[in-house]
Amino acid sequence: MKEIMAIIRLNMINKTKDALLKEGFPSITCRKVLGRGKKKVDFSLIDVISQNVMESPRLAEELSEGHRLIPKRLLTMVVKDEDVKKVVDTIMSVNSTGNPGDGKIFVLPVMEVIRVRTGETGETAI
């Protein structure tokens, strides 16, 4: 079993949930999170942005992300080992725009799962 953690854009959560449901993965946990990537801001562009803010919204976005924490969504799911590729491919197909900030996916091993209600363990508890 594997845990898949995906950090995605706020506006992509419904499309991602729908795509996962369509592929047969209805069970997810979703949390609101804040974070930032490694991208550094070139402050020499401040003069350019102040003159061209309306003409270049992408530049404005890049400058404003300097030290600000960006709201994102964190999806968490536990799946069978053989389903990892299908889940990752589904998340990637929906969220990949080719731009910085599309997100990250982490795949971690899960040692044990126990269903609280019944006491079932292992893959039957998923």
What total of structural domains would you count in the chain? Answer: 1
Q: Is residue 17 part of a domain?
A: yes
Higher pLDDT, 104 or 60: 104
Tokens of 106: 């982490």
Q: Is residue 13 part of a domain?
A: yes
Q: Is residue 64 part of a domain?
A: no
Q: Is residue 100 part of a domain?
A: yes
Tokens 């959560």 correspond to what residue? Answer: 13
- List the domain range (segments joined by +) for residue 74: 2-37+69-125
pLDDT beyond 90 at 59: no
Q: Is residue 8 part of a domain?
A: yes
User: pTM of this prediction?
Assistant: 0.75
Q: Is residue 48 part of a domain?
A: no
pLDDT beyond 90 at 101: no
Which pLDDT tens digit goes with each residue over 63-95? 555 567 889 999 999 999 999 999 999 999 999
Q: What does the pLDDT read at residue 99? A: 87
Which CATH number is 8's domain given?
3.30.70.120
Q: What does the pLDDT read at residue 33? A: 95
33-55 burial code (b ≥16 CB/10 A, e <16): eeeeeeeeeeeeeeeeeeeeeee
Q: What does the pLDDT read at residue 13? A: 95
Q: Is residue 33 part of a domain?
A: yes
The three-state (H, E, C) secondary structure of 73-105, written as one string: EEEEEEECHHHHHHHHHHHHHHHCCCCCCCCEE
DSSP code of residue 66 = S
